[in-house]
Amino acid sequence: MNAIVQHDPERLPSLQSGGAVKAIVPQDFDGAWRIALAVCKAGMAPKGLETPEKAMVAIMHGMEVGMTPMASLQSIAVVNGRPTIWGDGAIGLVRGSGKLEWIKEKLTGDGENMAASCEVKRKGEADPTKATFSVADAKKANLWGKQGPWQQYPKRMLAMRARTFALRDAFADVLRGLGIAEEVQDTPQERPQAPKPPAPPAPPTQKIERQEAIDAETGEVVDDRQIVRETGEDIDAVMADGEFDAAAFFDELETNLAGAMDEATVEEVWSEMDAEAQFDGDDVNLQIAVKIKERHLSQIGGNNG
């Protein structure tokens, strides 16, 4: 008699062994967002990438240079507002690209004569690319003795700076514009210059020409003594400069027209004073003279009415 095998409905599926370990790589914007959100909720986002937005941007930057999401979060850092990659991440990218034939790094000298060098050989190129960074270079850049890693690990910082220069020169296509964190964090930020305050208004001109004191609407002349009181100028001195020539003409025109009792007399005075000739090419003053004439004509018309 065959035994009946009963299946436990709560029994978990058996574990599978073997197989290659593969990273979860998002294929769209939503996938990158979900990974970033999960990392931030788990409290495992690196410093500076604590929000899902920042973490997602780091993931996307890393993926553009061939990194998996988790590797991106560990290697991409925002320094001075710019996405960068740590030095070890940079060399990892270059090694993983398959374009590096070999790399040689060394530190020579001691004390003030210390210098780091990095030499990289790119496949398909005849000559290697070499970069050096010495204590003298660090002093010139105001880095030597700087508080932080430059005091704690000066040799390491010299080596990383030489490596940065070599990798950027030889493998710009691999790094694709990502800055190297160790270099960017030492670059001084340019502070935006405060806008210059507006220039104070120019002081009023002390000498006011007579024609500027004529009312453009009515043609009435402002009293000369008022001009003197406003400017503090000596009326005789200003008159001597010839600045009231136009106003003197208006005064004479006003006086001559004051005795005119009809339009014919106004026209006669106007012809005798010949304002058109006096203000040839000066439309502003000619217009003032015309307004004076028109005002007297309107007064005569009103009186006759």
Q: What secondary structure letter does DSSP report for 125?
A: -
CATH 3.30.160, domain 85-180, yes or no:
yes
What is the rounded (10 degree) CA torsion for 178, 181, 186, 192? Answer: 50
Return the domain boundaries, the chain: 24-79, 85-180, 210-304
**Taking the CB of residue 263, how many other CB atoms lie within 10 A of it?**
13
pLDDT in tens, 142-154: 888 888 888 898 9
CA–CA separation, 86 and 68 (whole Å): 15
Q: In what order do the strands lie in the sheet with 82-85?
A: 76-79, 82-85, 179-180
Q: How far out from the chain centre does Cα 147 lie? A: 30
Q: Which residues are bridge partners to 130 per DSSP? A: 119
Q: Residue 210 pLDDT > 80, yes or no?
A: no
What pLDDT score was predicted for residue 219?
52
CA–CA separation, 83 and 61 (whole Å): 8
Share of the chain above pLDDT 70, in %: 74
Residue 177, helix vs strand vs coil = coil
Name the band, by pLDDT with cuts 50, 70 and 90, for residue 211: very low
User: What is the pLDDT of the chain when averaged over all its residues?
Assistant: 77
Q: Residue 221 pLDDT > 70, yes or no?
A: no
pTM, rounded to two decimals: 0.50
Phi and psi torsions of 120, nearest 5°? -125, 145
pLDDT in tens, 67-113: 888 888 888 877 777 778 876 788 888 888 899 999 999 999 988 89
Of 12-16, 45-49, 112-116, 122-126, which gets the smallest average pLDDT?
A: 12-16
pLDDT in tens, 20-61: 777 778 888 888 899 989 989 998 888 878 888 888 888 888
What pLDDT score was predicted for residue 132?
94
Closest by CA position to 62, among listed 85, 42, 30, 95: 85
CA–CA separation, 273 and 222 (whole Å): 21
